[in-house]
Structure 1
Amino acid sequence: MPVESADEIEEILEYETIAVVGCSSTPGKAAHDVPKYLLDHGYDVIPVNPFADEIFGREVYDSLTDVPDGIDVVCIFRPSGEVSEIVDAALERDDVRVIWTQQGIRDDEAAARAETEGRAVVQDRCMKVQHRRLAA
């Protein structure tokens, strides 16, 4: 079962390093504004986007495979049809503890695979909204 309880989400929000797949360089887009909010609130945000070189003054990686540093949470800002492939890439890494799909994004089959591999999954929820509600 994907994570639903406030206590579990609050626990996840204690992790520090978030790789944002689909991070945007365009202010005003949720895929830009949400990671910026997280960065401004002390999280180590790692932008992942094959079409950008730098976002928030940080190096951008083409894929999760290219990220050399440890990742606690993979936050996904891509269409639901792309989630399965991203989850597979996350599962190849030993360090990823949580898969989080943003509001309007879900893939129940990929979520089940991640949970079978021992990863927590949050689907169809905005990380910024949850942070404001539970941790701010």
Structure 2
Amino acid sequence: MPVDATDDLADVFEYETIAVVGCSSTPGKAAHDVPNYLREQGYDVIPVNPFADEIFGRPVYDSLADVEEAIDVVCIFRPSEEVSEIVDAALERDDVEVVWTQQGIRDDEAAARVEDDGRVAVQSRCMMVEHRRLSA
């Protein structure tokens, strides 16, 4: 089963680099505001979006495969039906430790593949909400 325990979620926030698939350049959208919050908390946020050139003053990658830096966590802001393909790309990388889908996004089969590969899966939870809750 995907990670659900508070202690396990706290461990996720020990990582430093978060690639955000579906990161938005539009303030007011969760896919912009959540990664921006994470940046403000000191995380290295890598935006991934094939339809944007720059977000948060940094270049945007078209896909996870294009990201040159090491990634600890992949945070997904895409519809549930796209999660499986994104998980495949995350599992192609040796550096990804956690795959996290945001609130309302889930794919149980893809999450099982993440865990079967010895990595952590978190589904349908907001990273900002969980970070705030655990930091309180």
Q: How does the TM-score come out when normalised to structure 2?
A: 0.99
Task: Give me the whole-angstrom Cα distance separating, in 2, the residues matched to 1:58 and 1:38.
Answer: 15
Task: Give me the whole-angstrom Cα distance separating, in 2, the residues matched to 1:125 and 1:135.
Answer: 16
Equivalence for 1:27: 27
Q: Identity over aligned residues, as a percent?
A: 78
User: Residues 1-136 of structure 1: matches in 2 within 5 Å?
Assistant: 1-135=1-135
Deviation of 1:76 after TM superposition, in Å, equals 0.1
Deviations 1:59-96 (A, max 9, x none): 10000000000000000000000000000000000000
**Unaligned 5+ runs, structure 2:** none
Q: How does the TM-score come out when normalised to structure 1?
A: 0.99
List, as ranges, runs of 4+ consecutive aligned residues in structure 1 with deviation greater than 2 Å.
none
Deviations 1:1-42 (A, max 9, x none): 100011000010110000000000000000000000000000
RMSD after superposition: 0.6
Contact 1:50 1:63 in 2 (8 A): yes
Deviation of 1:135 after TM superposition, in Å, equals 2.5
Equivalenced residues, count: 136
